[in-house]
Structure 1
Amino acid sequence: MSGEPILCVRALEKRYGARVGCTDVSFDVWSGEVMAIVGESGSGKTTLLNCISGRLPPSSGGVSYRMRDGTLRDLAELGEAERRFLMRTDWGFVHQNPIDGLRMRVSAGANVGERLMAVGERHYGRIRGAATDWLGRVEIDAGRIDDQPVSFSGGMRQRLQIARNLVTHPRLVFMDEPTGGLDVSVQARVLDLLRGLVADLGLAVIIVTHDLAVARLLSQRMMVMKSGRVIEAGLTDRVLDDPRHAYTQLLVASIPES
């Protein structure tokens, strides 16, 4: 990890009228680090992810991102064009349901190639070559490059969504329950793929999951949320092996014995 964080979150809060989505959340993330945000349904973890990824405006607090030139910029001060460019290039977002992150009626190759075109690539041969390479990296047969995602299985769609997000070599990737809708055997394959790609590319990743086994496999640090607040945070192994908050202890105790 580099000396300075790539993302800084300070006193973040999101309210929906009187209801609190998340409140008083502060943390940093460094390049090459995976941070897991865990908690039960309704804990506020997805609201938090949407706020820090620019998909929801926070009610108060701030999120700052370190640009490629080393400057730390407040996301609220970015223009709309800057923010959209950041989301298409420097950031990735892997949805739980790949339908939300893919264009289902264009080819697999076009899904990957669109991201390259967003950063200015116009050479058809290079775009198709990069798409072919990335399909291979996510274990999709190159012969499927012209097939539409509607013909793919759930696991293949999720792997295609991962390729679409990573082809531009983003520095920060947000993941919302990336294995949540998959069968257990397919989950294991996607998780193994994600772990390898994250390590190879040195990505910073923020992953939301209710599955503590996923958090243990992928993350170095984790935050536990309940009722919109972070109630425990630390190194993943420490939090899971020696939980200090009663709620975290309850979550850990509920993991089925393998």
Structure 2
Amino acid sequence: MTVTILPQPLLRVRGVAKRYGAFTALHEASFDLWPGEVLAVVGESGSGKSTLLNAIAARTRPDAGCVEYRLRDGSLEDVHGMSQARQRLLARTDWGFVHQNPADGLRMDVSAGANVGERLMGLGQRHYGQLRCAAEEWLQRVEIDAIRIDDAPRTFSGGMRQRLQIARNLVTRPRLVFMDEPTSGLDVSVQARLLDLLRQLTQELQLAVVIVTHDLAVARLLAHRMVVMQRGRIVESGLTDQVLDDPQHPYTQLLVSSVLQP
């Protein structure tokens, strides 16, 4: 008899809440994220998307709830129960974080190659030739000409900076990547090119991704599942096409109809 071993969630979020004084920014959010799955978190500005992302990425400590991550040995560990040193190690090895503003995720005055190689050095790699070779490879994978390896990101366009930030995050082969509005503020043509790149890389590397976006088109293109947030609450969740084609919650219906209106 053949025994089928079902995959286990990579990330378990249970009852995560966050308050700022009298204001509740996040109301008991819960969901699972599976290996290789892209989950979109959508909603208008102020809906709690970024608060949720920062809480599950250990950038903000929630006031209640639990965020558990499955380590490579198969064990689940409470992210907020880790020491800060362990959180930092996780963030620069098994996780990635792509910021809306690339300047927040890059060192703007050092070379593109150094930006990519820095994460590898955090894993103990010191051989200059190997670091440079890896940086060249990843620049090419994100469609940046390798001749720009010694140029600083401040000389790059906005789209190139975002692609460099992606290379910096993926060079260590993380299993989980957080993305905060990665295409926001880019021209439409640049945005389309970046989305194609993200879709290709997430599929090729089998990345698990939590992507925050206000753009439903981005969610449809990239995400397997989505959660819709309103006033700090998850009001609807499900398969992306199902939620967008047949929204059940009035707020989701409003979001979808506003996009479809001419």
For residues 44-89 of structure 1, the C-alpha deviation after alignment (integer angstroms, 9 at most, x for no partner) is 0000000000000000001000011111000122111111000011
* Equivalent residues in 2 for 1:23-62, closer than 5 Å: 23-62=27-66
Which segments of 5 or more consecutive residues in structure 2 lack a partner in the other structure?
none
Q: Match for residue 160 of structure 1?
A: 164
Cα root mean square deviation, aligned: 1.2
Identify which of 229, 248, 251 aligns with 1:225: 229
2:140 is matched with: 136
The aligned residue for residue 100 of structure 1 is: 104
Which secondary structure does the structure 1 equivalent of 2:113 belong to?
helix
1:91 to 76, 95, 101: 95
Q: Residues 2 and 35 from structure 1, CA distance in 2 versus in 1: closer, same or farther, beyond 3 angstroms?
A: farther
Query: Are residues 1:177 and 2:181 paired?
Result: yes
Off by >4 Å, runs of 4+ in structure 1: none
- Flag structure 1 segments of 5+ consecutive residues without an equivalent: none
Number of aligned positions between the proteins: 258
Instruction: Report the Cα distance in structure 1 between the residues aligned to 2:210 and 2:36, rounded to whole angstroms.
Output: 11
Q: How big is the shift at 1:181? A: 1.4
Query: In structure 1, how many angstroms separate the alpha carbons of the residues matched to 2:90 and 2:208?
Result: 15
Distance 2:22 2:77 in 1: 30
Aligned pair 1:245/2:249, yes or no? Answer: yes
**Offset at residue 257 of structure 1 (A):** 6.2
CA distance in 1, matches of 2:16, 2:129: 44
Q: Give the aligned partner of residue 128 of structure 2.
A: 124
Cα deviations by residue, 1:136-167 (Å, 9 ceiling, x for unpaired): 00000000000000000000000000000000
TM-score, normalization: structure 2?
Answer: 0.97
Query: Quick one: structure 1 residues 61 and 244, their matched pair in 2 at CA, closer, same or farther if it must change by over 3 Å?
Result: same
Matched, 1:79 2:93: no
Separation in 2, partners of 1:9, 1:17:
23
